[in-house]
Structure 1
């Protein structure tokens, strides 16, 4: 009799858990705080769940925007949770945050335990985002809100244009798909949320546009957020044979060129707010 061994499940987070990625996540969150968090504020005393808090990059801004809210942060990685606690201790001492190690599909909370749920840059890494949204809906009280923020790598366009740079971005999308995720998920937020049984779904685009007149974004977004994200999957892309080393290096160099004189860069995020049915 022949037995078949099931291959190990691919990693859910294509970018990995290196110190490099932790710094990039912090840079990204700080750069985009106003754009993504400016209209998110939860009342004092409200019970707020942040699902997939990672290293706490978004948690810091949730705390800052909702003083007095009772925030619970959950992540599946104990190492990321340790970094999140350290980040909050350093940047928001005294913040009222409860930390839990758990998979968001199997949350250790009662039905309707929270007034609001917040999830940012998480669904894109999951093989079944609708199942994840249904799990989050379970712990959300009727009439409570679910806020979801995601990017969409297909929204990246730039000048000077480059087929090599676009191929490097596409390699990231393909690697994420191979790991069970979807780097183009932002455009699907409305149908995903409605499929999960949520109502009153509103999706708004949040665009980052960078040119020479915005030197702070040239550095913090074009270089340290987007280009750094692409650079971070170099070894995986080359190992998978998606590009030659020479073509990859040219693609990354061309992305960096968009952050130099005369270059421009555009990227779109999507923010959705939905309601748990009563």
Structure 2
């Protein structure tokens, strides 16, 4: 089952998702391109941040974009209309666990930053396997907040990251799911599962990643959970704010930041 989206549906979050997708497009979408005419499902398309890059790398595909949020789908339509006019996209408001498509309806399924927000990721994968043709591919991309390593070191910053992951877990999600992709996919019956790390490393020599990822993506995700984390009572306001300040310090001269995404590609088993 899906859980509440821990980051919310604000205009600010929509912009953050777009900026994140643009910053990481080369890293995350490298190696993903589908032949023209392929029937592709993007499950959990959200505001279309990844959809636009998916279409840019695979022009001519027959894309279906599914999400449960009407607000997100509206934003996705607007984004794709501006970024990829003329692209063939069918928009579908539906539950990831009950996709309204016949068996084997798609040649490929693409899922990015979705499984971390569902309480039963294996169940979600099983639902997607049903609509994927035998031998078709599933691509899954997820992060893992436990992979965040930074300099200068900061116990306060580490406590903020841990608090965000704890909050997401309390909502039924998993901010550490990247490390579990291989067993999840294998357990859901997929074959030829291959998981590869996609690493972000930012320092003063990589200003685009410093600004786009450290300042514009990771730290805002942490800062956005301030109120619920303080309500939890484990961190004081001074501790939380100090941790966020220390994360931003890693984006200054002399700072470094490392984070690992995990990209899995697998095939739906052939029947019979």
- Write the mapping of 1:1-278 to structure 2, written as runs, cut at 5 A: 11-278=3-270
- State the SS of the aligned residue for 1:180: coil
How many residues are matched? 270
Runs in 1 of length 4+ with deviation above 3 angstroms?
none
- Structure 2: 5+ residue stretches without partners: none
CA contact (8 A) 1:160 1:264 kept: yes
Q: Aligned-pair distance for 1:10?
A: 9.3
- State the SS of the aligned residue for 2:48: coil
In the alignment, the residues of structure 2 paired with residue 187 and residue 163 of structure 1 have an alpha-carbon distance, to the nearest angstrom, of 23
1:4 corresponding residue in structure 2: none
Q: Aligned-pair distance for 1:233?
A: 1.0
- Structure 1: 5+ residue stretches without partners: 1-8
In the alignment, the residues of structure 1 paired with residue 232 and residue 127 of structure 2 have an alpha-carbon distance, to the nearest angstrom, of 33
In the alignment, the residues of structure 2 paired with residue 137 and residue 266 of structure 1 have an alpha-carbon distance, to the nearest angstrom, of 33
1:52-93 per-position Cα deviation (integer Å, ceiling 9, x unaligned): 000000000000000011010000000000000011111111
Give the TM-score taking structure 2 as reference length: 0.98
In the alignment, the residues of structure 1 paired with residue 16 and residue 44 of structure 2 have an alpha-carbon distance, to the nearest angstrom, of 17
Q: Aligned-pair distance for 1:22?
A: 0.7
CA contact (8 A) 2:161 2:222 kept: yes
- State the SS of the aligned residue for 1:15: coil
1:157-186 per-position Cα deviation (integer Å, ceiling 9, x unaligned): 100010000000001100000000110000
Give the TM-score taking structure 1 as reference length: 0.96
In the alignment, the residues of structure 1 paired with residue 167 and residue 194 of structure 2 have an alpha-carbon distance, to the nearest angstrom, of 30
The CA RMSD measured in Å over matched residues stands at: 1.1
